[in-house]
Amino acid sequence: MKFIDEFRDADLAKAVINRVRRNSKRHIRLMEFCGGHTVTIMKHGIRQLLPETVEMLSGPGCPVCVTAHQDLDKAIALSREPEVIITSFGDMLRVPGSYSSLQRVRADGADIRIVYSTLDALQIARGNGDKSVVFIGIGFETTAPTIAASVMQAKEEGIENYYVLSLHKLCPPVIKALLDSGEVKLDGLICPGHVSAVIGSRPWDFAARDYGIACVVAGFEPLDVLQSVEMLVSQLEEGEPKVEIAYRRGVRPEGNLRAQELMSTVFEPSPAYWRGIGEVPESGLRLRKEYQAFDAELCFNFDPGPTLEPKGCICGDILRGVKTPLDCKLFRGACTPEHPVGPCMVSSEGSCASYYHYESL
């Protein structure tokens, strides 16, 4: 299959791995930010193929996983409001909140509907004028433009019963927060391809310039990831950390200007709470003043109650890269994809789910 088989060619992969083994002289620690990269690395055994000098860590790049309990509790509380329809991407429904989940309150009678795009949510709002339709807006810079477009369309059409609970996260600020914490020593970063398709490669310049972190924007096929590792090794061995693009079929330095315009028109940066990391300044998105009539958090009076974290779950440590799922006492025991305790086991891009399916014990 064109553009797929080429990036899974075993002979090409062997050649890249041999070059990495030959060129990597010192121990380096690389973090893949995106959950999609984590799945590729685990599924294709890339960590085991790399030399011992290259250590791979997983970062907070799963939007479902980093959504904090307190934010999920808001969505659950909204679902209990009278005459409210909750619309959401499907992967959010099974994530446990402090006391329940969207899936459980749905089983109890709440009107919660899975949608595949914000266009679906808008259509539900059009067809249910006597009810309020709330879209749970999660995701990184990848999903924010389409959600912004839905708000603009709702305003243009005069759809007054459509709302967004904005739980969006912005990626560069949280990487800066991780680097500032000093908790994890990193040498290189595999930057997320989908996010960078929107924001471009330039927002990662700070990591190389201010922290000496080598950066490569990567695609999601096995050879994409291997090529990014080879490029990172070359940068670090030469002592010249910089930002490079290994995913030129999807990413330009300036990014997608139209998508950026949509985001900046509807949203403005705000503090956001990341699971396991805490509040990170300018790492979230809230609706601008002219669009606040669509802001569910401002338009509804609801009480999510106190936050309660699950006992024994170390999702926060895993998202910071300080532990792996194998360090969790609940992993493969009390916590499985069928009965997840934490969100890292729920999402298909979560580290725990990836380890569960692909890591041999």
Q: What is the pLDDT of residues 110-147, one digit of tens each?
A: 999 999 999 999 999 999 999 999 999 999 999 999 99
Contact present, 251 and 193 (Cβ < 8 Å):
yes
Burial class (CB in 10 A: 0-12, 13-18, 19+), 164: buried
Closest among 232, 191, 240 to 54, alpha carbons compared: 232
> Per-residue pLDDT for the chain (361 aa), expressed as one digit of tens each?
466 677 888 899 999 999 999 999 999 999 999 999 999 999 999 999 999 999 999 999 999 999 999 999 999 999 999 999 999 998 899 999 999 999 999 999 999 999 999 999 999 999 999 999 999 999 999 999 999 999 999 999 999 999 999 999 999 999 999 999 999 999 999 999 999 999 999 999 999 999 999 999 999 999 999 999 999 999 999 999 999 999 999 999 999 999 999 999 999 999 999 999 999 999 999 999 999 999 999 999 999 999 998 899 999 999 999 999 999 999 999 999 999 999 999 988 899 999 999 986 5
CB neighbour list of residue 188: distance below 8 Å, 6 or more residues apart:
28, 29, 30, 31, 213, 214, 215, 216, 232, 235, 236, 241
Helix or strand run (H / E) with residue 60? strand 54-61
Q: What is the DSSP string of 304-332?
A: -----PPTT--HHHHHTTS--GGG-TTBT
Our measurement of the distance from residue 333's CA atom to the centroid of its chain's CA atoms, rounded to an integer in Å, reads: 26
CB atoms within 10 A of CB 309: 15
* Sequential DSSP letters for 107-176: HTT-EEEE-SSHHHHHHHHHH-TTSEEEEEE--STTTHHHHHHHHHHHHHHT-TTEEEEE--B-HHHHHH
Residue environment code for 325-350, b if the CB has 16+ CB neighbours within 10 A, otherwise e = beebebbeeebeeeebbbbbbbbebb
Q: How many helices (H) and strands (E) does the chain have?
A: 16, 11
| Joined tokens for residue 282 | 């300018």
3-state secondary structure of 67: strand
Q: What is the DSSP string of 264-285?
A: HHHEEEEEEEETTTEEEEEEEE
Domain architecture of the chain: domains with CATH? 5-62+172-183+200-245 (3.40.50.11750)
